[in-house]
Structure 1
Amino acid sequence: MGPRRIVCLTEEPTEVLYALGEQDRIVGISGFTVRPPQARREKPKVSAFTTAKIEAILALKPDLAIGFSDIQADIAAELVRRGVEVWIANHRTVEGILDYIVRLGALVGVAGRARAYADGLRRGLEEVAARAAGLPVRPRVYFEEWDQPQITGIAWVSELVGIAGGEDVFPELAAQPLARARILADPALVVERRPDIILGSWCGKRFRPEQVAARPGWDTIPAVREGELHEIKSPLILQPGPAALTDGVAAIARIIHTWAARRG
Structure 2
Amino acid sequence: MTDLLHFSPGPQRIVCLTEETTEWLYLLGQEHRIVGISGYTVRPKRARDEKPRVSAFLSAKIEKIMELQPDCVLGFSDLQADIAAELVKRGVQVTIFNQRSVAEIFSMLFQLAAMVGEAEQGAQRITQMQADLRTMQAAVAAKVTAGARRPKVFFEEWDTPHISAIRWVSELVGIAGGDDCFPELATQSLGKNRIIADGAEIVLRNPDIILGSWCGKKFRPENVAAREGWGVVNAVRHKQLFEIKSPDILQPGPAALTDGVQKMHQIILQWMDADQSGAFQP
Instruction: State if a TM-score over 0.5 links the two structures.
Output: yes
Q: Provide the aligned C-alpha RMSD in A.
A: 0.9
Q: Which runs of 4+ in 1 moved over 3 A?
A: none
2:202 is aligned to 190
Listed as ranges, the gaps of 5+ residues in structure 1 are none
Partner residue, 2:241: 229
- Matched with 2:40 is 32
Structure ID, larger Rg:
2
Letter of the structure 2 residue corresponding to residue 3 of structure 1: P
Q: Which position in structure 1 is the counterpart of 2:113?
A: 105
Counterpart for residue 279 of structure 2: none
- Which string of whole-angstrom CA distances, capped at 9 and with x for unpartnered residues, describes residues 153-172 of structure 1? 00110111111110000000
Task: Work out which of the residue numbers 166, 171, 188 in structure 2 matches 1:154.
Answer: 166
CA-CA distance at 1:133 after TM superposition: 1.2
Which of residues 56, 61, 71 in structure 1 aligns to 2:79?
Answer: 71
Secondary structure in structure 2 of the residue aligned to 1:27: strand
| Structure 2 residue 96 is matched with structure 1 residue 84 | no
The answer to whether 1:248 aligns with 2:264 is no
Provide the aligned length of Structure 1 versus Structure 2. Answer: 264
In structure 2, the partner of 1:5 is 13
TM-score w.r.t. the length of structure 2 is 0.92
Which of 229, 239, 255 lines up with 1:217 in the alignment? Answer: 229
Distance 2:55 2:140 in 1: 38
Aligned to 1:174: 186
Instruction: State the distance in 2 between where 1:190 and 1:262 align.
Output: 23
Structure 2: 5+ residue stretches without partners: 1-8, 277-282
Aligned-residue sequence identity (percent) comes to: 59
TM, length-normalised to structure 1 = 0.98
Matched position secondary structure for 1:21: coil
**Aligned counterpart, 1:145:** 157
**2:50 paired residue number:** 42
The structural deviation recorded for 1:185 is: 2.4
Letter in 2 for 1:38: R
